[in-house]
């Protein structure tokens, strides 16, 4: 495995990413946004997931982005879009296939879903969406993120739908790429229901959309936080199974 650490994708101090690359050329690339409620966590948390991805022949890019208390909505979404553009520009130099899988854990899954459901973000930064193979969401909040609610001075338990919520776009924007929605049996309150609703809403308004969902055992993001009895992350296993069908 080859690595490129602390690569800058934009000028802010936090706008860094790490590459984990297979030895062979022609690989697809997984872009991963870490969790932590948009206020904690960092890209180094992706190192163990990267091992499983690279072993399967994929590159893995772990992205840092703006967070609270200094960030404000929607800076972190803009960072995510900019990181995808940077990765896309770098792929030819690295002899990659050019195909990208965009994914994230918890807060990073919220970023993933906002990019997926409102691809205007990519237009703002010149991303060629033809290069996106799929999206995989690992326990996303599909309503307005609780930290965005806090920023607005609202109760963080509220279920709000507006343009800061991925679910808001389910009946408006066409789902252009395949989407896998992962959630957990003992997830945060209302999180399983939100993800089930996103899946059902997409199929209701877009019956031809390629969207699947899977419930994994355990608590919030258990499948991307710890390995199973086989030494694998269940989240990564589901991701790889999904994209291999495409």
Mean pLDDT score of the chain, rounded to an integer? 97
Measure CA 33 to chain center.
5
Query: What is 90-137 written as a DSSP string?
Result: HGGGGT--S-EEEEEETHHHHHHHHHHH-THHHHHHT--GGGEEEEEE
Q: Of 45, 189, 53, 165, give the one whose Cα is nearest residue 116.
A: 165
Residues 19 and 30: their CA atoms lie apart, in Å, by 10
73 and 148 Cβ atoms separated by less than 8 Å: yes
The tens digit of pLDDT for each residue in 164-199 reads 999 999 998 899 999 999 999 999 999 999 999 999
Name the pTM for this structure: 0.97
pLDDT band at 219 (very low <50, low <70, confident <90, very high): very high
DSSP state of 88: H
Q: How many CB atoms lie within 10 A of CB 222?
A: 19
Residue-level pLDDT at 148: 97
The tens digit of pLDDT for each residue in 47-74 reads 999 999 999 999 999 999 999 999 999 9
DSSP state of 10: S
Q: Of 197, 140, 133, 145, give the one whose Cα is nearest residue 171.
A: 197
Residue-level pLDDT at 226: 94
Residue-level pLDDT at 25: 96
* Structural domain span for residue 83: 2-244
Task: Give the mean model confidence (pLDDT) for residues 193-219.
Answer: 97
Q: Which CATH number do you get for residue 113?
A: 3.40.50.1820
Residues 181 and 214: their CA atoms lie apart, in Å, by 6
State how many domains the chain has: 1
Sign of the alpha-carbon dihedral angle for 69, 74, 80, 85: negative
SS3 of 39, please? Answer: coil
The tens digit of pLDDT for each residue in 76-131 reads 999 999 999 999 999 999 999 999 999 999 999 999 999 999 999 999 999 999 99
DSSP state of 62: E
Residue-level pLDDT at 105: 98
37 and 72 Cβ atoms separated by less than 8 Å: no
């Amino acid at each position: 495995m080859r690595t490129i650490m602390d690569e800058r994708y934009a000028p802010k101090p936090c706008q860094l990413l790490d590459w984990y690359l297979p030895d062979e050329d022609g690989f697809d690339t997984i872009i991963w946004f870490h969790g932590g409620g948009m206020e904690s966590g960092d890209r180094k948390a992706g190192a163990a997931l990267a091992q499983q991805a690279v072993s399967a022949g994929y590159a893995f890019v772990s992205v840092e982005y703006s967070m609270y208390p200094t960030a404000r909505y929607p800076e972190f979404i803009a960072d995510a879009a900019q990181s995808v553009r940077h990765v896309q520009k770098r792929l030819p130099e690295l002899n990659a296939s050019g195909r990208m899988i965009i994914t994230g854990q918890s807060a990073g899954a919220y970023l993933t879903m906002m990019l997926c459901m409102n691809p205007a973000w990519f237009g703002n930064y010149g991303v060629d969406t033809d290069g996106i193979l799929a999206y995989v969401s690992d326990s996303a909040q599909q309503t307005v993120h609780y930290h965005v609610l806090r920023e607005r001075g609202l109760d963080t338990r509220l279920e709000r739908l507006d343009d800061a919520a991925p679910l808001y776009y389910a009946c408006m924007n066409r789902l252009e790429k395949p989407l896998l929605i992962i959630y957990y049996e003992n997830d945060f309150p209302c999180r399983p229901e939100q993800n089930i609703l996103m899946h059902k809403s997409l199929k209701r308004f877009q019956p031809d959309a390629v969207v699947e969902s899977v419930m994994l055992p355990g608590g919030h993001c258990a499948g991307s936080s710890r390995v199973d009895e086989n030494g694998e992350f269940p989240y990564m296993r589901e991701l790889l199974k999904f994209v291999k069908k495409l």
